[in-house]
Protein backbone atom coordinates (compact mmCIF):
# COMPACT_ATOMS: atom_id res chain seq x y z
CA UNK A 1 0.00 0.00 0.00
CA UNK A 2 2.88 2.30 0.81
CA UNK A 3 4.42 1.52 -2.63
CA UNK A 4 1.16 2.36 -4.42
CA UNK A 5 0.88 5.69 -2.63
CA UNK A 6 4.40 6.70 -3.63
CA UNK A 7 3.76 5.55 -7.17
CA UNK A 8 0.54 7.57 -7.32
CA UNK A 9 2.35 10.65 -6.11
CA UNK A 10 4.98 10.14 -8.78
CA UNK A 11 2.28 9.91 -11.47
CA UNK A 12 0.57 13.02 -10.20
CA UNK A 13 3.93 14.90 -10.33
CA UNK A 14 4.47 13.82 -13.94
CA UNK A 15 0.97 14.95 -14.88
CA UNK A 16 1.47 18.35 -13.24
CA UNK A 17 4.88 18.77 -14.89
CA UNK A 18 3.47 17.76 -18.24
CA UNK A 19 0.56 20.17 -17.92
CA UNK A 20 2.89 23.01 -16.93
CA UNK A 21 5.17 22.34 -19.90
CA UNK A 22 2.19 22.17 -22.25
CA UNK A 23 0.85 25.51 -21.02
CA UNK A 24 4.28 27.15 -21.25
CA UNK A 25 4.85 25.82 -24.76
CA UNK A 26 1.37 26.93 -25.84
CA UNK A 27 2.09 30.41 -24.48
CA UNK A 28 5.37 30.48 -26.40
CA UNK A 29 3.58 29.48 -29.60
CA UNK A 30 1.00 32.18 -29.04
CA UNK A 31 3.64 34.87 -28.57
CA UNK A 32 5.62 33.63 -31.54
CA UNK A 33 2.47 33.49 -33.68
CA UNK A 34 1.48 37.00 -32.69
CA UNK A 35 4.87 38.35 -33.72
CA UNK A 36 4.63 40.47 -36.89
CA UNK A 37 6.24 38.79 -39.89
CA UNK A 38 4.46 40.26 -42.93
CA UNK A 39 3.78 43.71 -44.36
CA UNK A 40 1.01 44.28 -46.89
CA UNK A 41 0.03 47.18 -49.12
CA UNK A 42 -2.43 47.49 -52.01
CA UNK A 43 -1.50 48.90 -55.41
CA UNK A 44 -3.63 51.01 -57.74
CA UNK A 45 -5.46 47.88 -58.97
CA UNK A 46 -6.28 46.79 -55.44
CA UNK A 47 -3.87 43.88 -55.58
CA UNK A 48 -2.23 43.00 -52.27
CA UNK A 49 1.57 43.01 -52.18
CA UNK A 50 3.07 41.15 -49.22
CA UNK A 51 6.70 40.99 -48.09
CA UNK A 52 8.79 40.44 -44.99
CA UNK A 53 10.35 43.93 -45.18
CA UNK A 54 8.98 47.45 -45.53
CA UNK A 55 9.86 48.98 -48.90
CA UNK A 56 9.54 52.62 -49.98
CA UNK A 57 6.38 51.60 -51.82
CA UNK A 58 4.89 50.31 -48.54
CA UNK A 59 5.61 53.65 -46.90
CA UNK A 60 4.26 55.69 -49.81
CA UNK A 61 0.98 53.79 -50.04
CA UNK A 62 0.49 52.88 -46.40
CA UNK A 63 0.62 49.29 -45.21
CA UNK A 64 -0.69 46.73 -42.73
CA UNK A 65 1.46 44.77 -40.32
CA UNK A 66 0.39 41.11 -40.18
CA UNK A 67 1.24 38.23 -37.89
CA UNK A 68 2.05 34.73 -39.14
CA UNK A 69 -1.69 33.94 -39.20
CA UNK A 70 -2.16 36.90 -41.57
CA UNK A 71 -4.11 38.83 -38.96
CA UNK A 72 -3.73 42.63 -38.99
CA UNK A 73 -1.79 43.87 -35.97
CA UNK A 74 -1.61 47.54 -36.88
CA UNK A 75 -1.89 49.91 -39.83
CA UNK A 76 0.50 52.59 -41.05
CA UNK A 77 -0.98 55.57 -42.85
CA UNK A 78 0.43 56.50 -46.28
CA UNK A 79 2.94 59.29 -46.50
CA UNK A 80 2.00 62.42 -48.39
CA UNK A 81 3.71 62.46 -51.78
CA UNK A 82 5.55 65.70 -51.06
CA UNK A 83 6.81 64.46 -47.72
CA UNK A 84 7.75 61.10 -49.22
CA UNK A 85 9.70 62.78 -52.04
CA UNK A 86 11.50 64.97 -49.52
CA UNK A 87 12.50 62.00 -47.39
CA UNK A 88 13.63 60.07 -50.45
CA UNK A 89 15.79 63.02 -51.53
CA UNK A 90 17.30 63.24 -48.05
CA UNK A 91 17.99 59.51 -48.04
CA UNK A 92 19.62 59.70 -51.47
CA UNK A 93 21.73 62.66 -50.40
CA UNK A 94 22.86 60.84 -47.26
CA UNK A 95 23.73 57.78 -49.33
CA UNK A 96 25.83 59.83 -51.75
CA UNK A 97 27.54 61.67 -48.89
CA UNK A 98 28.40 58.38 -47.18
CA UNK A 99 29.92 56.97 -50.38
CA UNK A 100 31.81 60.19 -50.99
CA UNK A 101 33.20 60.09 -47.44
CA UNK A 102 34.41 56.54 -48.02
CA UNK A 103 36.20 57.61 -51.21
CA UNK A 104 37.80 60.60 -49.46
CA UNK A 105 39.15 58.47 -46.62
CA UNK A 106 40.44 55.91 -49.09
CA UNK A 107 42.18 58.55 -51.22
CA UNK A 108 43.64 60.84 -48.53
CA UNK A 109 43.28 59.08 -45.15
CA UNK A 110 43.28 62.42 -43.30
CA UNK A 111 43.19 66.20 -43.81
CA UNK A 112 46.95 66.60 -43.37
CA UNK A 113 47.72 64.37 -46.36
CA UNK A 114 45.05 66.19 -48.37
CA UNK A 115 46.74 69.52 -47.63
CA UNK A 116 50.07 68.12 -48.84
CA UNK A 117 48.43 66.88 -52.05
CA UNK A 118 46.78 70.28 -52.51
CA UNK A 119 50.13 72.07 -52.33
CA UNK A 120 51.67 69.62 -54.80
CA UNK A 121 48.86 70.10 -57.30
CA UNK A 122 48.81 73.89 -57.03
CA UNK A 123 52.60 74.07 -57.32
CA UNK A 124 52.53 72.00 -60.51
CA UNK A 125 49.82 74.19 -62.06
CA UNK A 126 51.62 77.39 -61.06
CA UNK A 127 54.82 76.13 -62.66
CA UNK A 128 52.87 75.51 -65.86
CA UNK A 129 51.44 79.04 -65.73
CA UNK A 130 54.91 80.51 -65.22
CA UNK A 131 56.24 78.56 -68.21
CA UNK A 132 53.34 79.71 -70.39
CA UNK A 133 53.95 83.33 -69.40
CA UNK A 134 57.62 83.03 -70.38
CA UNK A 135 56.56 81.59 -73.72
CA UNK A 136 54.18 84.51 -74.19
CA UNK A 137 56.94 87.03 -73.47
CA UNK A 138 59.14 85.39 -76.11
CA UNK A 139 56.30 85.54 -78.62
CA UNK A 140 55.78 89.23 -77.80
CA UNK A 141 59.48 89.84 -78.49
CA UNK A 142 59.12 88.13 -81.87
CA UNK A 143 56.11 90.29 -82.55
CA UNK A 144 58.11 93.45 -81.79
CA UNK A 145 60.79 92.43 -84.28
CA UNK A 146 58.22 91.63 -86.96
CA UNK A 147 56.43 94.94 -86.37
CA UNK A 148 59.70 96.79 -86.77
CA UNK A 149 60.32 95.03 -90.08
CA UNK A 150 56.80 95.89 -91.19
CA UNK A 151 57.30 99.54 -90.24
CA UNK A 152 60.63 99.70 -92.05
CA UNK A 153 59.07 98.34 -95.22
CA UNK A 154 56.25 100.88 -95.01
CA UNK A 155 58.63 103.81 -94.48
CA UNK A 156 60.72 102.76 -97.46
CA UNK A 157 57.67 102.74 -99.65
CA UNK A 158 58.07 99.08 -100.46
CA UNK A 159 55.33 96.51 -100.40
CA UNK A 160 55.27 94.37 -97.32
CA UNK A 161 56.55 90.89 -98.27
CA UNK A 162 54.02 88.06 -98.07
CA UNK A 163 56.40 86.08 -95.88
CA UNK A 164 56.38 88.92 -93.36
CA UNK A 165 52.60 89.11 -93.44
CA UNK A 166 52.37 85.36 -92.85
CA UNK A 167 54.86 85.61 -90.00
CA UNK A 168 52.85 88.40 -88.38
CA UNK A 169 49.63 86.35 -88.66
CA UNK A 170 51.30 83.25 -87.24
CA UNK A 171 52.68 85.33 -84.39
CA UNK A 172 49.24 86.78 -83.62
CA UNK A 173 47.75 83.27 -83.57
CA UNK A 174 50.46 82.09 -81.18
CA UNK A 175 49.76 84.99 -78.85
CA UNK A 176 46.03 84.19 -78.79
CA UNK A 177 46.59 80.48 -78.18
CA UNK A 178 49.10 81.11 -75.39
CA UNK A 179 46.83 83.66 -73.71
CA UNK A 180 43.97 81.14 -73.81
CA UNK A 181 46.25 78.45 -72.36
CA UNK A 182 47.21 80.72 -69.49
CA UNK A 183 43.55 81.50 -68.82
CA UNK A 184 42.70 77.78 -68.77
CA UNK A 185 45.57 77.08 -66.37
CA UNK A 186 44.53 79.90 -64.06
CA UNK A 187 40.96 78.58 -64.04
CA UNK A 188 42.29 75.11 -63.28
CA UNK A 189 44.31 76.53 -60.38
CA UNK A 190 41.24 78.18 -58.86
CA UNK A 191 39.04 75.11 -59.37
CA UNK A 192 41.67 72.77 -57.89
CA UNK A 193 42.12 75.04 -54.88
CA UNK A 194 38.37 75.15 -54.25
CA UNK A 195 38.01 71.38 -54.64
CA UNK A 196 40.79 70.64 -52.18
CA UNK A 197 39.48 73.21 -49.72
CA UNK A 198 36.16 71.36 -49.74
CA UNK A 199 37.90 67.98 -49.39
CA UNK A 200 40.03 69.16 -46.47
CA UNK A 201 37.04 70.74 -44.73
CA UNK A 202 35.02 67.53 -45.04
CA UNK A 203 37.90 65.36 -43.79
CA UNK A 204 38.26 67.61 -40.74
CA UNK A 205 34.57 67.15 -39.99
CA UNK A 206 34.94 63.37 -40.26
CA UNK A 207 37.99 63.47 -38.00
CA UNK A 208 36.01 65.23 -35.27
CA UNK A 209 33.32 62.54 -35.50
CA UNK A 210 35.76 59.68 -34.89
User: DSSP alpha helices (H): ranges in 73-110?
Assistant: 81-108
The mean pLDDT value for 142-155 works out to 93
pLDDT more than 90, % of the chain: 61
Sheet bearing 72-76, strands edge to edge: 48-51, 36-42, 63-67, 72-76
How far is the C-alpha of 163 from the C-alpha of 144, rounded, in Å?
16
| 208 three-class SS | helix
Question: What pLDDT does 158 receive?
Answer: 85
What are the pLDDT digits (tens) for 187-202?
Answer: 999 999 999 999 999 9
**Please, which pLDDT band fits residue 81 given cuts at 50, 70 and 90?**
low
Instruction: Tell me the pTM.
Output: 0.57
Residue 72's contacts (CB-CB under 8 Å, 6 or more residues apart) are 64, 65, 66
| 63 three-class SS | strand
Amino acid sequence: MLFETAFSKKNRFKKVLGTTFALTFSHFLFLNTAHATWYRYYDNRGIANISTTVSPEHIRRGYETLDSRMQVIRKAQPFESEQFAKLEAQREQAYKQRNNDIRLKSAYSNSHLAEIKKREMLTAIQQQINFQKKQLNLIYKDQLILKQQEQAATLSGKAIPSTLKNALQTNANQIERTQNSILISQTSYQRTEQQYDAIIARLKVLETQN
